[in-house]
Amino acid sequence: MERKFDNRRGYYQKKKNAPVSARPAETEEENGGELLLEGRHAVREALRAGRSINRLYYADGELDGSARELLTLAREARVVTAAVSRARLDDMSQTHHHQGFIAVAAPFAYTELSDLIESAGDSGLLVVLDGVSDVHNLGSIIRTAVCAGADGLIIPKHRAAAVNAAVVRTSAGAAEYLPVARVTNLSRALEVLKEAGYWINGAAMDGQSMYDADLRGKTVLVIGSEGEGLSRLVRETCDRVVSIPQTGTIDSLNASVAAAVLLYEAYRQRR
């Protein structure tokens, strides 16, 4: 069905992001089992958001001001804490940047696509990642999405990064505040979003300038993979392709940087 562009769409009303509660959606971690939350920012935001934490390990004898604050938050949340050696934390760590704190939590709770659409409302801003495989890019995109007022993120289940310990740490705890849906078929998910009234904007260097694109109303920003960009099927599903104006000899931006620039252009337009 042909889709015609309509300029007459309402402006976005910025709302404060609220902590994301666990939902009866997919909760398996990439490798199964529990999720380790590493670093003070990740642990602090998990405690503030009310995430279910089974146990909090901290480096014995290294309790400065921020460390005592974390332990206070943990005890208020009735989380079991244990002082261990830094060597043991090093052995447990998956990121090697635990900063003296590792929390053992339930796996990250993904949300259903239908719930994400419903919670985003009438002028939602969603980000879709088409095969982004670097966990640091994923974590950075999540952090920027929260800061720019996005309503949610959609990632594929296969051949892409999942939300793991490194992602949570890179997001500096922002993963606790952004609903993330994980889908089997990304092109089909985009079709569902179209049916819900969203305009799908794929990011590529040969598209129209982002300054000429209306990014208000129900908007989806699709960011391609680090090496290949948008896949053919995903690109064909997009309503339009938008580009980030640039000069110089480099012809592309890092996926997380491109996502940040587009998110803040959408933020600018919606104010």
Fold of 35-105: 60s Ribosomal Protein L30; Chain: A; (3.30.1330)
Average pLDDT over residues 95-113: 90
Render the burial of 117-154: b for 16+ CB within 10 Å, e for the rest. Answer: beebeebbbbbbbbbbebbebbbbbbbbbbebbbbbbb
Q: Over 80: is that where the pLDDT of 167 sits?
A: yes
Task: Give the percent of the chain with pLDDT over 90.
Answer: 63
Q: When comparing pLDDT for 32 and 47, which is higher?
A: 47
Of the candidate ranges 19-23, 84-88, 93-97, 233-237, the one whose mean pLDDT is the lowest: 19-23
**Domain 113-270, CATH homologous superfamily name and number:** SPOUT methyltransferase, trefoil knot domain (3.40.1280.10)
Q: Over 50: is that where the pLDDT of 1 sits?
A: no
Under the banding of pLDDT at 50, 70 and 90, the label for residue 24 is: very low
Average pLDDT over residues 82-87: 93
Please tell me the chain's helix, strand, coil percentages from 3-state DSSP, rounded to the nearest 5: 35, 20, 40
Q: Over 50: is that where the pLDDT of 48 sits?
A: yes
12: exposed, middle or buried (C-beta count within 10 Å: 0-12, 13-18, 19+)? buried
Under the banding of pLDDT at 50, 70 and 90, the label for residue 13 is: very low
Of the candidate ranges 21-30, 119-128, 160-169, the one whose mean pLDDT is the lowest: 21-30
Rg of the chain's alpha carbons, rounded to an integer?
19
Q: Give the model's pLDDT for residue 33.
A: 63
What value does the mean pLDDT of the chain take? 86
pTM of the model: 0.81
Under the banding of pLDDT at 50, 70 and 90, the label for residue 252 is: confident
Q: Over 80: is that where the pLDDT of 9 sits?
A: no
Rounded Cα–Cα distance for residues 121 and 185 (Å): 23
DSSP designation for 172? T
Q: Give the model's pLDDT for residue 66.
A: 83
In the chain, where are the structural domains located?
35-105, 113-270
Q: Give the model's pLDDT for residue 162.
A: 93
